[in-house]
Amino acid sequence: MKTQALLYYIGAFIFTGLGILTFVQLHKASYQMEAGTFIVITALLYYGMITLYFKGSRKTFLIVNLALAIVVLGGIFFNSFLFGGH
């Protein structure tokens, strides 16, 4: 089995499990929609990054990965400014 196909299967297993857990554990529809939206966005990013790694250039993959890392770190440190806090 090719590595790319294996990574696709692993991602499908992980994101399907997360989707099932979302609907089992969260009972309010608004929470389910919020969690489901997050799972869909992260799944698209995951499959996009795998595709970019195998079909695109390695340099582009590293640049996109670095940009995502900066956005995530910014989200961690500026969370209270972006979404309010106490």
40 pLDDT above the threshold of 90: yes
DSSP one-letter code for 78? T
43 pLDDT above the threshold of 80: yes
The stretches of the chain forming alpha helices (DSSP H) are 3-25, 29-55, 58-77, 79-83
Query: Domain segments of the chain: what residues?
Result: 1-55, 57-86
**CA nearest to 11, candidates 45, 34, 35:** 45
Instruction: Report the C-alpha gap between 64 and 47 in whole angstroms.
Output: 13
What predicted TM-score, i.e. pTM, was given to this entire model? 0.80
Instruction: Convert the pLDDT of each residue in 17-29 to its tens digit.
Output: 999 999 999 989 9
Rounded average pLDDT over 20-49: 93
Task: Taking the CA atoms of 43, 46, 47 and 48 in sequence, report the sign of the dihedral they define.
Answer: positive
